Chain A
Amino acid sequence: MGELGVEHFLFLSAALFIIGMMGVLTRRNLLIIFMCVELMINAVNLSLVAFGWELDHLGGQGFAIFTIAVAAAEAAVGLAIILALSRRQKTMDVDEIRSLRD
């Protein structure tokens, strides 16, 4: 076991990002898709902090804080939209939400 380097964090971050992306592309439940996107954004935060650590530069950490704030705002808006939709329609399956079609 060598020393913990930036590449370990980047690999972990990339793995989390890809897991999240796969989740978005394969799962059909709205809330799970939403959580997968949150996972992707948190994977990015890990990358940002790891890069900031490697470069000895505070910019990455600052960027991560902004990303967290944006993700929180996204959660507020997203849950509100999902709530408004669940009042009209009783399903959480994205394949069944299709009143708008060509």
Chain B
Amino acid sequence: MILDLQTPDFGIALPQVIVFGLAIALVLLDAFLDKAKHFAWLTGLSLGGYAAAMVALVGQDGENKSTFSGMFVADGLTVFFSLIILSAAVLSVMVAASYIERLEGRMPIGEFYVLLAFSVLGALLTTSAGDLIMVFVGIELSSLATYVLTAFAKRRLSSVEGALKYFLLGIFASAILVYGMAWIYGSSGTTNLDGISRHITSQIGGEDFREPSLLLGLLLLVVGLGFKMAAVPFHMWTPDAYDGAPTPVTAFMSVVPKAAAFAATVRVLVQALGPLRDDWLNLIAVLALITMAFGNIVAISQRNVKRMLAYSSIAHTGYMLVGLAAYQGGQTGFGTGAAETGDQGIPSLLYYMLAYTFMNIGAFAVVAWLQHRGAGMTLDDFSGLATTNPLAAAAMTVFMVSLMGVPPLLGFYAKYYVILAAIDADLLWLALSVVVLSAVSAFFYLRVVAVMYFNEPDVQPRATTTPLLNIGIAAMVVANIVLGLFSADLTDLAERWSDPVDVEAAVADGR
């Protein structure tokens, strides 16, 4: 083998490079900056850094190139998932800033932002992975930072306990995931995702085709990724970790690591194992159904709003899996272009993930808003919120109704596209179960609304000001109402997820 070194093209990795620079800058500033300046400076720097990365994303859009010897891919999928992750990062900073600074015994805010930035970086690298190694390293970077964030309120036992459960099941899942990757690598001879796809396509049905070992790898991968995205029956950690973590961290970890897990799933199952799609589509469809059913039904019995939202986020994982199960692109995986194959599944998944970001972080933001005012997180703490704080109650109502999927809010469009994709893929039973289970979910979402509007307030909330959090909640309310009107633009962007990618010549030749 001739050693062929090439200068990587950092230009097309600009958003990821900016977030990496942000993480390093935060580490240094946290160490050397005057403690009194931490809150204002580091919050500003984080918001500015993520915003700059979002601007850089515009330049990445439509590039469709790979660099770092095929390790890094900037295609439509990267751009859309990065958009989701960076929006979630900005919103998480807004929700977290005052919470970390004031509640639970003043947690160190600099360290919080550093861990947040590394988790975001890990998720971004997962979405842009062109290689099994990158998928694994990205998803681990994202998870490891999130384990620490979950334990961030370390004086409170439940926070550490939630982190411990998340950690133990998370590394168990990682071990299964990487074992699956080892088998895929062993049976296809390469770790490059497109290379795996090409290898399987050329060998399929042939004499050397190692189908059993590929299927073993596939099964292990689905189990590992199922843990990471909190699909039933691999969801056991979710309620405890979501309940124990500080509320802004819960908001963050219900979106970013989940987005990373879905990005990894699309990369690995669709891009690399696309030729085996007949083997995994049914598996994903069944997983989607039980995830939706379990999440929605168990959420009914929850009195703790954070736990209820945890089960609801499991249910939403199920809806997104419906989008994946409706994938009907060609068996050659990527590079065929969605327009030609008529695939609606992956664009609907992407759109749902974006909508979910604004609904779910919003709901947790209102819980954090109440915690600032001395309330807890049970249903009773919401009683009479409409009398004491009509605006907060209205915001929570928007998020609840949007999570339920009522027109004209964003959550409705998201469910609509998923259902359309499922019908398009002849999965009528799955489309029907989405509708029926959404009706079930109305019970626990509307109960929160009813408690806020029809019960008498127990206690007068403590007076306090949370400007950044209020701006964040307002922005998410507006997004939930307005973004649905721009669905056409968003789905156009999402449909470019599988545009053909220019692969570096050296990678295309090699195996």
Contact = CB atoms under 8 A, between A and B. Distances in A.
A43 B179 CA distance: 8
A77 B144 contact: yes
B97 interface: no
Nearest to A82: B164
A8 B162 CA distance: 40
Interface string B167-182: 1100110111011011
Given A34-B168, A63-B133, A97-B164, A48 B185 contact: yes
B307 interface: yes
SS of B interface (majority): helix
A64 B182 CA distance: 9
Contact of B175 (A44, A66, A81, A84): A44
B132 interface: yes
B190 A17 contact: no
A70 B178 CA distance: 11
B191 A63 contact: yes
Contacts of A84: 151, 154, 160
A22 interface: no
A29 to B, nearest CB: 12
B178 A67 contact: yes
Interface residues of B, number: 43
B243 A100 contact: yes
A100 B302 CA distance: 13
B133 A62 contact: yes
A99 B175 contact: no
Q: Which has the most chain B C-beta neighbours within 10 Å: A33, A48, A73, A81?
A: A81
Interface in B175-199: 175-176, 178-179, 181-183, 185-186, 189-191
A81 B151 contact: yes
Nearest to A42: B175
A81 B160 contact: yes
Interface residues of A, number: 43
Contacts of B147: 77-78, 81
Contact of B164 (A40, A63, A73, A81): A81
A85 interface: yes
A93 interface: no
B397 to A, nearest CB: 26
A97 B163 CA distance: 12
Given A70-B140, A77-B148, A40 B175 contact: yes
A75 to B, nearest CB: 9
A26 interface: no
A66 B161 CA distance: 28
B185 A100 contact: no
B76 interface: no
Interface in A72-102: 73-74, 77-78, 80-82, 84-85, 88-89, 94, 97-100, 102
A22 B259 CA distance: 30
Given A84-B154, A85-B160, A102-B239, A33 B168 contact: yes
B182 A66 contact: no
Contacts of B137: 66, 70
Contacts of B183: 47
Contact of B136 (A50, A66, A73, A98): A66
Contacts of B190: 57, 59
B244 interface: yes
Contact of B161 (A17, A40, A85): A85
B160 A63 contact: no
Contacts of B133: 59, 62-63, 66
B167 A78 contact: yes
A66 B139 CA distance: 13
B343 interface: no
B336 interface: no
Given A55-B189, A59-B185, A74-B171, A41 B160 contact: no
Contacts of B471: none
Interface in A3-50: 10, 17, 20, 24, 30, 33-34, 37, 40-41, 43-44, 47-48, 50
Contacts of A54: 186
Given A51-B185, A60-B182, A74-B144, 17 more contacts: A20-B175, A40-B176, A41-B175, A44-B179, A47-B183, A57-B189, A60-B185, A60-B186, A63-B182, A66-B133, A70-B137, A77-B147, A77-B148, A84-B154, A88-B157, A98-B161, A102-B302
Interface of A: 10, 17, 20, 24, 30, 33-34, 37, 40-41, 43-44, 47-48, 50-51, 54-55, 57, 59-60, 62-63, 66-67, 70, 73-74, 77-78, 80-82, 84-85, 88-89, 94, 97-100, 102
Interface of B: 132-133, 136-137, 140, 144, 147-148, 151, 154, 157-158, 160-165, 167-168, 171-172, 174-176, 178-179, 181-183, 185-186, 189-191, 239-240, 243-244, 301-302, 307, 511
Top 6 nearest A-B pairs by Cβ distance?
Answer: A51-B186, A40-B175, A47-B182, A100-B240, A88-B157, A85-B160
